[in-house]
Structure 1
């Protein structure tokens, strides 16, 4: 992994699901309520904090790619949804956006 570059895509973990759950309401304020919200895979990137790119299954055939930012602890800022892409499929690659 190059310094500052996103990691390779990895299967989602319980910690990644927790991050997705924490930004779910921020996404649903901008889009709609989703019947499910299951983190499937993710990439992370170290910056001045941590960026998470997460593929989330929102119903049987639809996925959303979300980008969440976790600031450094001393900044005391909440986890934030900073970007998202809708209308994604199961096989759409999780890319930087």
Structure 2
């Protein structure tokens, strides 16, 4: 299925670049959730082209636990953490 202009992509397997984005925001996620994560592995993601890129990333944090992160990466590559959700729902923007 083709991506709708302005919409989010289909769900894709995380790549090394996706993990780098997660690593960049890990401390902000830990601060927001009040938890420390020994495991923090990007698994899947969706992206949206804007003036930069919005990402929704599913991150495995150990056991059967996952987080969904909303992250923005500007055109110069700087990454900004927006929000986190601790639920087992489909990977959707929030």
Asked if these proteins are the same fold (TM beyond 0.5), I'd say yes
How far the C-alpha of 1:47 sits from its partner, in A, is 1.1
Paired positions, count: 91
Structure 1 residues without counterparts, runs of 5 or longer: none
Counterpart of 1:12 in structure 2 is: 14
Cα RMSD, aligned residues only: 1.3
> C-alpha separation between the residues in 2 aligned to 1:16 and 1:49?
15
> C-alpha separation between the residues in 2 aligned to 1:83 and 1:50?
15
Structure 1 length-normalised TM: 0.87
Q: Is 1:96 the equivalent of 2:73?
A: no
How far the C-alpha of 1:72 sits from its partner, in A, is 2.4
> C-alpha separation between the residues in 1 aligned to 2:83 and 2:30?
13
Structure 2 residues without counterparts, runs of 5 or longer: none
SS in 2 for 1:26: helix
How far the C-alpha of 1:58 sits from its partner, in A, is 0.5
Counterpart of 1:56 in structure 2 is: 59
